[in-house]
Amino acid sequence: MEETTTKTKTKKSDETTPLHVAMFPWLAVGHFIPFLRLATLLARRGHKVSFLSTPGNLSRLPKIPPPLSSLITLVPLPFPETPAAAALPPLAQSSSDVPNRHQQLLKPAFDALLPALRSFLRSSRPDWILYDYASHWLPALAAELRLPRAFLSLFAAAVLSFFGPPAGLASGGRFQSGGDGGGGDLTAVPPWAPAGSGLAFRPHEVARVAERSEARVETAHDTVRFGVSIGESDAVAVRTCEEFEPEWLGLLRELYGGKPVLPVGLLPPMDDEDESDDVESKERWEFMRSWLDGQAAGSVVYVAFGTEVTLTRAELAELALGLDRSGLPFFWVLRRSPGSDRDDGLEGLPSGFLERVKGRGFVHSGWAPQVKILRHESTGGFLTHCGYNSIVEGLSFGRVLITFPVMNDQGINARLLLAKGVAVEVPRDEMDGSFTGDSVAGSVRLAMVDEAGEPARAAAREMKGVFGSKEINDGYVDEFVRYLEEHRKPKFMMN
């Protein structure tokens, strides 16, 4: 009886004690953002979060709201010096600092963070660790330390479904059979997915992924990283919800053979996101807002391609031509190509373009407060590379999407958006990805003003009720927290 009473007391204590969750994202700005959003949501519920990354990456994070600063601890892990890292640009610590063809050079440095991470986990003993796709060695480390671990997928359930069962990925599977960069099965709907779903990459999208093989470095293949990270997790948390892609969540649960698959909601932008105390940033935004204030409601198409995508000079020229010919107001954010001698990203624009669109077009180089721009009432559409962060942010404000996928999961995301009816696609050659200014202009006008585009505009507005719903998304986070609380191990079992 005495032993039973002790166990009961221990369980009750665990249920009432706030969680301590460690978070370890991949070295990419697009991954830090949703990890930090979830960290903030956990902290707002009274739980403690240790957010681990390299010093250079932690310095880029948005400011943590003062009321939560005691609950979210940024834990710096020194960026390792490896032979591959020596070939990176100076001070490069994230994927946005490195050209696509050299992305794999970051992987050995990331893997070399294991000893520092082990030291932290051993001393701090968090209740859970949430980790990203690249740290395939982390589940074994967590098992060694008897720590519960969950793979946090920043990819839609449709993307994970396309990849298939973890065991096939971990063994190399079908995705490495086309190692010549030809694409293989990547350009076909997988046999476990509905044949009419269109869930497949196009050849030009696969070719951009194959560019990474130019960086000759001994490191685990990304599919292996995915397979082991998922397969050896205690649970898989997915950034999605039943209201958006119930069919793909259902398939994912079948493919994962009973492993817990937990939607955590869409992690939409928060009200205080993109706030900055920096005087220069505030002044820059005031200038942007002044221009946006001068445009009609819903008339502006916002154009941005994230932190990693770089376009060729020919692509920039056709895109500029299309925006010019559309006749519509636009706000275009350009980023500098890693390794470029110029820091404004404007070198690829056609001669005379800026003069021709003056007043109607706003072209900005460098970082811009995307959430604020999308939230502004003059913004009506979003010409996007279909990175998942951008999709979530665009649909959170009901903006119709114009898809221009380039690399990574973006092609599958674009197919998903078209199937959901919330987007218009820029037509491109499936083999080489080429397109014309006229195709851009036509797609922009279809999405923004043509009568034939009204169903997509209406569907995007309706989707705001899911992506932008605090009630819906908070409900998923609450359910996820309950799972973490119910499945944490008593501290005496972790010693």
Q: What percent of the chain has pLDDT over 90?
A: 72
Alpha carbon distance 384, 402 (integer Å): 6
With CA atoms as reference, report the closest residue to 48 among 474, 488, 392, 471. 488
When pLDDT is cut at 50, 70 and 90, the band that residue 197 belongs to is: very high
Q: Is the dihedral of CA 46, 52, 53, 55 positive or negative?
A: positive
pLDDT digits (tens, 9 = 90+) for 236-284: 999 999 999 999 999 999 999 989 999 999 999 987 666 666 777 888 9
* Bigger pLDDT: 6 vs 31: 31
- Report residue 10's pLDDT band, with 50, 70 and 90 as the boundaries: very low
Instruction: Report which of 408, 404, 431, 428 is spatially closest to residue 417, judged by C-alpha positions.
Output: 404
Q: Is residue 481 part of a domain?
A: yes
If one counts the domains in the chain, the total is: 2
Tokens of 396: 């959170």
Cα 181 to Cα 4: distance, rounded to the nearest angstrom? 60
**What pLDDT, on the 0 to 100 scale, is given for residue 493?**
63
What distance in Å separates the CA atoms of residue 462 and residue 457, rounded to the nearest whole number? 9
Pair 460, 480 in one domain? no
pLDDT of residue 282: 87
Please report the pLDDT score of residue 343 as a whole number.
45
The reported pLDDT for the residue numbered 171 is 80
Question: Regarding beta strands 300-304 and 330-334, do their DSSP bridges make them parallel or antiparallel, or are they unpaired?
Answer: parallel
CATH of the domain at 287: 3.40.50.2000
What are the residue ranges of helices labelled H in 232-334? 246-255, 279-293, 313-326
User: Cα separation of 307 and 315, whole Å?
Assistant: 17
**Neighbouring residues of 103: CB distance < 8 A, sequence distance ≥ 6:** 95, 212, 215
Note the pLDDT of residue 495.
62
Does residue 100 sit within a domain?
A: yes
Tokens encoding 163: 């990849």
Do 46 and 189 sit in the same domain of this protein? yes
Q: What is the mean pLDDT of residues 294-306?
A: 96
Asked if residue 246 and residue 292 are part of one domain, the reply reads no
Asked whether 264 and 476 are in contact (CB, 8 A), the reply is yes
Quick one: DSSP state of residue 98? S
Query: Rounded to 5, what percent of the chain is helix, strand, coil?
Result: 50, 10, 40
The mean pLDDT of 454-466, rounded to a whole number, is 98
Note the pLDDT of residue 212.
Answer: 57
Q: What is the pLDDT of residues 207-226, one digit of tens each?
A: 877 665 555 677 888 899 99
Instruction: Give the pair of three-digit tokens for residue 92.
Output: 């490069």
Q: Are residues 438 and 453 in the same domain?
A: yes
This prediction has a pTM of: 0.91
Q: What angle do CA 160, 405, 266 make, to 5 degrees?
A: 45
pLDDT at 340 over 60: no
Stronger pLDDT, 194 or 8, i.e. the higher one: 194
Q: How confident is the model at residue 489 (pLDDT cuts 50, 70, 90)?
A: confident
Residue 78 lies in a domain: yes
**Burial class of 196 by CB neighbour count within 10 A (0 to 12, 13 to 18, 19+):** exposed
Whether residue 1 lies inside any domain: the answer is no
Average pLDDT over residues 134-152: 97
Residues 234 and 327 occupy one common structural domain = no
Check residue 210 and give its pLDDT: 65
C-alpha dihedral (119, 125, 130, 134), degrees to nearest 10: 20
Residue 27 lies in a domain: yes
Give the DSSP H or E segment for 418.
Answer: helix 410-420
C-beta of residue 23 within 8 angstroms of C-beta of residue 127: no
How much is the pLDDT for 137? 97
Identity of the residue numbered 467: F
To the nearest 10 degrees (0 to 180), the angle between helices 454-467 and 437-448 is 70
* Shared domain check, 462 and 474: no
What mean pLDDT do residues 325-332 have?
A: 97
User: Can you give the pLDDT at residue 345?
Assistant: 58
**Average pLDDT for residues 130-159, to the nearest whole number?**
97
215 plus 303 within the same structural domain? no
User: Is 274 among the domain residues?
Assistant: no
With beta carbons less than 8 A apart as the criterion, state whether 30 and 407 touch.
Answer: no
Asked whether residue 175 falls in the same domain as residue 53, the answer is yes
**Is 207 in the same domain as 154?**
yes
What average pLDDT score do residues 374-394 get? 97
**What pLDDT score does 183 carry?**
40
Query: Are 364 and 440 found together in one domain?
Result: yes
Tell me the average pLDDT across 170-188.
Answer: 59
pLDDT on residue 2: 39
Residue 107 falls within a domain, yes or no?
yes
What does the pLDDT read at residue 216? 65
What is the predicted pLDDT for the residue at 234? 98
- Share above pLDDT 70 across residues of the chain, in percent, rounded to a whole number: 89
Same domain for 148 and 29? yes
The per-residue DSSP string of 137-197 comes to THHHHHHHTT--EEEEE-S-HHHHHHH--HHHHHT-TGGGTTTTTT-GGGGS--TTS-GGG
Q: Please indicate, yes or no, if residue 3 is contained in any of the structural domains.
A: no
Q: What's the domain range around 25?
A: 8-268+470-494
Average pLDDT over residues 456-473: 98
Tell me the pLDDT band of 58, cut-offs 50, 70 and 90: very high
For the ranges 211-220, 376-385, 431-440, which has the lowest average pLDDT? 211-220
> If you average pLDDT over every residue of the chain, what do you get?
89
Residues 204 and 302 in one domain: no
